[in-house]
Structure 1
Amino acid sequence: MVNRMVLNETSYFGKGAIEAVASEFKARGYRKAAVITDKDLVKFEVATKVTDLLDQAAINYALYDGIVPNPTIQNVKDGVAFVQASKADCIIAIGGGSPIDTAKAIGIIITNPTFANVISLEGVADTKQPSLPIFAIPTTSGTAAEVTINYVITDEENHRKFVCVDPHDIPIVAFVDSDLMMGMPKTLAAATGMDAMTHAIEGLITKGAWEMSDMLHLKAIEIIGRSLRDSVNGDQSGREEMALGQYIAGMGFSNVGLGLVHGMAHPLSAWYNIPHGVACASLLPTVMKYNKDFTGDKYRDIAKALGIEDAETMSIEAVRDAACEAIDQLSKDVGIPATISELGVKAEDIPAIAQDALKDVCTPGNPRDTSIEEIVSIYRSLM
């Protein structure tokens, strides 16, 4: 079997990493950047930490701050029109998964105009040209959009999210700077952090996993497990560690896929506009328990990465339960809602939501084959 790894050309890590933005821009000979972000990041002067550097370096740019959470097809179309009108020859995406995902779709459409119908990008699109070059600057520690070949767009008309997978969309440079993550409120740090843990665990147990991806995911579980609580409490070193842990998880899952947590989370976000990280976090402990008997020794590896005492010598049944309990406790410790009804999910919608989850591109990667009845049961158990 042939396994493929696609990663960024260049990445910078650590406090102050964004200071390399101007030198990278100039070294690559770009003339003008389209800065893509959202209004809150401009309002709270997070995006301006980057644009101030561009101003100081006399770099020409146009600012588009119209990105919304769970970005839509129309959001992408508006972004394409803006970037084309700006005549920018590169994109600087600042934000969580929403601005960076939208930037990927925009960049791909600009260089592959036959995919102007955004829905045509769903799944594995046969694009021919690399995206307009993207510099990705994350402001949350969870999505790892800066290092993945995936992005997710919301089809509002049909109440669904669709996943796009394309090696041509990966940002050419990532700047992973914890300074930009210090402004996250506790709830966002918790949700994005548990999303990163979901990436690491699902990437470890997905059907496409192999030795190199396992190495990345286990290290990510270790880092996230020891740093997420501190990150949620606003500790700088905790957020620095989370920035690295979520990136490492992204290096892995981007190349091997995910599973049922993401398959079930996507329709929750599409139907109720629940933030993606919150949806994943609310599902992870329960779906881990659902999968536990189909994961071989990997829950033992998870338990060891989390530092669970006696993980090496426990029976496989006991260590699987211990791993599930540890993730459940982490989720509770950082304040993730215990039920999906708290997130606005309606019992009468569950059969239709479950159909969307079964059809989601992430679901086939789950280690345990599932059915509509079992998905309905999982949703209802979380009400």
Structure 2
Amino acid sequence: MTFDKVYQYNFPTTIRFGAGAIKELPAYLKANGLARPLIVTDPTVAALPFFKAIVADLEANSFSVEVFSDIHKNPVKSDVYKGTEVWDQTSRDSVIGIGGGAGLDVARAIVLRVNHREDLFKYDDLIGGDVYVTNDVPHFITVPTTSGTGSEVGRSAIISDDETHQKKILFSPKLMAKIVFADPVLTMDLPPHITAATGMDALTHNMEAFLAKNPHPLCDGIALEGIYLIKDAIENATHRSDLESRSKMLMASMMGAIAFQKGLGVVHSLAHPLSSLLDTHHGLANAVNIPYGMEFNIAGFEDKFRRMAKTLELKEESGEAVVKYLFELNTKLNIPHRLSEIGVQSTHIDTLADLAFADFAHPNNPKPVSREDFKQLYLKAL
């Protein structure tokens, strides 16, 4: 595989992948009779030169473009409602999500809300709300700008309650993008700390999906290959940033999101409360917690850890070697080893443990996780 041409994958979403893929966006809109896209992104991406160039290119091709970027780092329901108001007031015909997980989650939730106007959280998958997603949705296009969440190939959005901070999952196959323009060039200028945090998010997705208890051999194979690509590329992408490493990270990110339809686990349940309570970057929260969560899972699942160690090409093929690798990788990426270094205090622990135990991810962990387990994991990582 070379890294300077565009490839097409269908899994099942159509993915246009490679350097320069974003240049195909105007022609795609024209071919599909779309003229008035609502672009949804976050405030940081909206200010970047490549984003302004995308908008300028669309406007130069006579498209009427509306940009909505008034969203939180960890999206909340009110973000979605505000974006839907922009849709209503400006008569749009499609939604283009551009960005990382936050921008793409809000874009997908707006896609849902356009023709589903009951309370947004009625559609929460955790209470069976997906059965109410029955109407058509607008034409939806995604453009990833980070290599972390893989939201561009997903079919769900994670949105928090403004008051309680509890995360809800809006889910339906209808919410998958019609097409993804995955252009690694758009990730080239990410600063090292964001590259590292989002890359560790992708690694967490692949590792947790591989360990998740639901049987799904297809996802297991994808997850292992995703782990292998990240092992190869994450340090270069963070510290030197060449097209090959950026391409591998972007592909591995999408692979993680495809694999975690199988489920996630304890690490995500440790990380989610840090984002909702303390506004910690999701990737950073996963990065700090992953060695501790993986260590918790070793006993009883030694064979799975041996397979991950083999994929990582570690000298010793064991769970302990995987945990050691994760700590060492965090050091190489300048990611802290302790929660206290990212703003967590001992007074937060009980609330974090309550939120983690209520989280949706850990029921798919390979072994049960109690509230006391979460408390002890937070204390160990503090």
Which band: TM-score by shorter chain? over 0.9
1:47 Cα deviation from its structure 2 partner: 1.4
The match for 1:241 is 248
1:75 to 59, 75, 79: 79
Rounded to whole Å, the distance in 2 between the matches of 1:130 and 1:322 is 49
Instruction: Give the partner amino acid of 1:120.
Output: K
The match for 1:338 is 337
The reply to whether residue 26 of structure 1 matches residue 30 of structure 2 is yes
Instruction: Give the partner amino acid of 1:323.
Output: V
Tell me how large the CA RMSD over aligned residues is. Answer: 1.6
2:227 to 221, 226, 239: 221
The match for 2:106 is 102
1:134 Cα deviation from its structure 2 partner: 1.4
The reply to whether residue 320 of structure 1 matches residue 319 of structure 2 is yes
The match for 2:259 is 252
Task: Give TM-score, length-normalised by structure 1.
Answer: 0.92
Instruction: Give the partner amino acid of 1:251.
Output: I
1:69 Cα deviation from its structure 2 partner: 0.7
The match for 1:268 is 274
SS in 1 for 2:65: strand
Q: In the superposition, relative to structure 1, how do residues 264 and 121 fare at CA in structure 2: closer, same or farther (>3 Å)?
A: farther
Matches within 5 A, 1:109-148: 109-114=113-118, 117-123=119-125, 124=128, 125-126=130-131, 127-148=133-154
Q: Write out per-residue CA displacement over residues 8-34 of structure 1, whole angstroms, 9 at most, x where no aligned residue.
A: 531111111101111211122223100
Rounded to whole Å, the distance in 2 between the matches of 1:130 and 1:223 is 37
Please tell me whether the aligned partners of residues 78 and 162 of structure 2 are also in contact (alpha carbons under 8 angstroms): no
Instruction: Give the partner amino acid of 1:105.
Output: A
Instruction: Give the partner amino acid of 1:295.
Output: F
The match for 1:291 is 297
The match for 1:316 is none
1:296 Cα deviation from its structure 2 partner: 4.6
The match for 1:315 is none
The reply to whether residue 16 of structure 1 matches residue 20 of structure 2 is yes
SS in 1 for 2:49: coil
Instruction: Give the partner amino acid of 2:166.
Output: R
1:133 Cα deviation from its structure 2 partner: 1.9
SS in 2 for 1:164: strand
The reply to whether residue 190 of structure 1 matches residue 196 of structure 2 is yes
1:156 Cα deviation from its structure 2 partner: 2.8
Q: In the superposition, relative to structure 1, how do residues 341 and 64 fare at CA in structure 2: closer, same or farther (>3 Å)?
A: same
The match for 2:5 is none
2:57 to 47, 53, 56: 53
The reply to whether residue 174 of structure 1 matches residue 176 of structure 2 is no
SS in 1 for 2:158: strand
1:323 Cα deviation from its structure 2 partner: 1.7
Structure 2, unaligned stretches of length 5 or more?
1-9
Instruction: Give the partner amino acid of 1:18.
Output: I
Rounded to whole Å, the distance in 2 between the matches of 1:14 and 1:28 is 22
Rounded to whole Å, the distance in 1 between the matches of 2:124 and 2:206 is 23
Please tell me whether the aligned partners of residues 355 and 372 of structure 1 are also in contact (alpha carbons under 8 angstroms): yes
Q: Write out per-residue CA displacement over residues 41-71 of structure 1, whole angstroms, 9 at most, x where no aligned residue.
A: 2222131232122123222221112122101
Please tell me whether the aligned partners of residues 287 and 330 of structure 2 are also in contact (alpha carbons under 8 angstroms): yes
Please tell me whether the aligned partners of residues 13 and 153 of structure 2 are also in contact (alpha carbons under 8 angstroms): no
Q: Write out per-residue CA displacement over residues 269-324 of structure 1, whole angstroms, 9 at most, x where no aligned residue.
A: 0000001111111110110000011325211111111111353xxxxxxx121122
Instruction: Give the partner amino acid of 1:118.
Output: L
1:218 Cα deviation from its structure 2 partner: 0.3
The match for 1:35 is 39
Rounded to whole Å, the distance in 2 between the matches of 1:209 and 1:175 is 30
Please tell me whether the aligned partners of residues 8 and 171 of structure 1 are also in contact (alpha carbons under 8 angstroms): no
The match for 1:364 is 363
1:158 to 148, 152, 164: 164
Please tell me whether the aligned partners of residues 33 and 90 of structure 1 are also in contact (alpha carbons under 8 angstroms): yes
Rounded to whole Å, the distance in 2 between the matches of 1:53 and 1:22 is 8
Rounded to whole Å, the distance in 2 between the matches of 1:148 and 1:198 is 16
SS in 2 for 1:361: coil
Rounded to whole Å, the distance in 1 between the matches of 2:39 and 2:258 is 24
Identity of aligned residues (%): 29
| Pairs aligned (count) | 368
Please tell me whether the aligned partners of residues 204 and 290 of structure 2 are also in contact (alpha carbons under 8 angstroms): yes
1:130 Cα deviation from its structure 2 partner: 4.5
